[in-house]
Amino acid sequence: VTIQVTGLLNFAPVIQGQVDATAATDTGLFVGKLKGLKDVNVIEVKDHLNVPSDMFVVTEETYKMKKDLLRRFLSAYRDSTQWMIDNPEEAAKLAITRSINGRNEAVNLAIIKIRNASAVSGTTQSKGLGHFDLDLLQKGAQTFRELGLIRTKIDVSKVIKSDLIPK
């Protein structure tokens, strides 16, 4: 296997036959199919290791020094995510004028529905948006280590914090 860097969400090399495979997010795959990606064999990572990966990462200094700013950011992000879950059609319309490349309302709506589905889990349903299942993340970290993807043992409870998530 030869790994070739093709760039983020760049399906052209696959479509043109320059590479045999690529990695993609669920929304990226949706857009890739709209742009001509056909006859693909999709291996869903979530079917083998379903670990959340969308999280905000800050330096320890930022975490310690800018807690109020981070709380406000997380509150706004949580509220906007909840609004998008509650109002997907309105969000799709708004994206036409507010997003960089969301000019097609139907495509916007499809992407929003995909994102909304990925934002909700058993943990978020019981604890609220923004919370993670630390046991699941620990299992994921251990699996990544066993696969040789990371070298250092990670105690996720020491690096994943939810204390700034607004109540």
3-state secondary structure of 114: helix
- Amino acid code (one letter) for 108: N
3 is a domain residue: no
Q: Which domain holds residue 27?
A: 12-43
- 11-22 pLDDT, tens digit per residue, is 889 888 899 988
The more confidently predicted of residues 100 and 70 is 70
29 is a domain residue: yes
Same domain, 89 and 151: yes
16 is a domain residue: yes
- 80-113 pLDDT, tens digit per residue, is 999 999 999 999 999 999 998 899 999 999 999 9
pLDDT of residue 9: 74
Rounded CA separation 57/64 (Å): 13
Rg of the Cα atoms in the chain: 18
Same domain, 76 and 109: yes
- Amino acid code (one letter) for 76: A
- pTM for the structure as a whole: 0.83
54 is a domain residue: no
